[in-house]
Amino acid sequence: MLHSKFKDTTIILASGSPRRQQFFKDFGIDFEIRLKEIEEIYPEELQFLDITDYLAKLKAAAFEDELQENDLLITSDTLVWHNNLALGKPKDYDDAFQMLKSLANATHEVIGSVCFKTKQKTEVINEVTKVTFGSLLDEDIHYYLKNFKPFDKAGSYGIQDWIGLIGISKIEGSYTNVVGLPTEKVYQYLLHF
């Protein structure tokens, strides 16, 4: 479906996330991966969706002078929002442990923003998914951190990992958004591009 639509477009996915890369493979479209190191720092006054929108645009801005006429650049950012705090990737093991402990027996929101950039325009879409963890024993958290090392994941967990199987009791909204990309919204955007 999308393959023929984008035959004259170079789709550039600027993400090192294996999960996002797999989603794009699953879409069945040709794309290339281009990566740049970006310091993911945002103004302190930003809250909620504004943070991920800002970071997705920041990642796209790094490619500003390189885009050709028929390039479509796609960047993305995901964070966990809990108790009015943004939880990004953990700094270390202890930070990851504290994050997971705080998520136990509570509902948090996973916010995903995706930026689409061409030479002419920049647009951002986003998605919010509510995720509820049941109780997590300390030994469950230690087992997960030692065996799955989720230190590259917002909120210190992957819903598709062991901790998701044993700990998540409820989800409201897009599952793939929690994995790292709101695929349904991205597909719809590309369909109407």
Please answer whether residues 34 and 16 qualify as being in contact, where contact means their C-beta atoms are separated by less than 8 angstroms. no
Of residues 77, 92, 95, 138, which has the active-site annotation? 77
Does residue 77 carry a catalytic annotation? yes
Neighbours of 163 (CB within 10 A): 24
Inter-residue long-range contacts of 52-59, CB under 8 Å, 24+ positions, other chains counted:
52/77, 52/78, 52/79, 52/111, 52/112, 52/113, 52/126, 53/113, 53/115, 53/124, 53/126, 55/113, 56/113, 56/114, 56/115, 56/124, 57/115, 57/122, 57/124, 59/14, 59/115
Please answer whether residues 189 and 29 qualify as being in contact, where contact means their C-beta atoms are separated by less than 8 angstroms. no
The DSSP secondary structure of 112-123, one letter per residue, reads EEEEEE-SS-EE
Please provide residue 36's backbone torsions phi and psi, each rounded to the nearest 5 degrees: -135, 140
Q: Which active-site residues does the annotation give?
A: 77
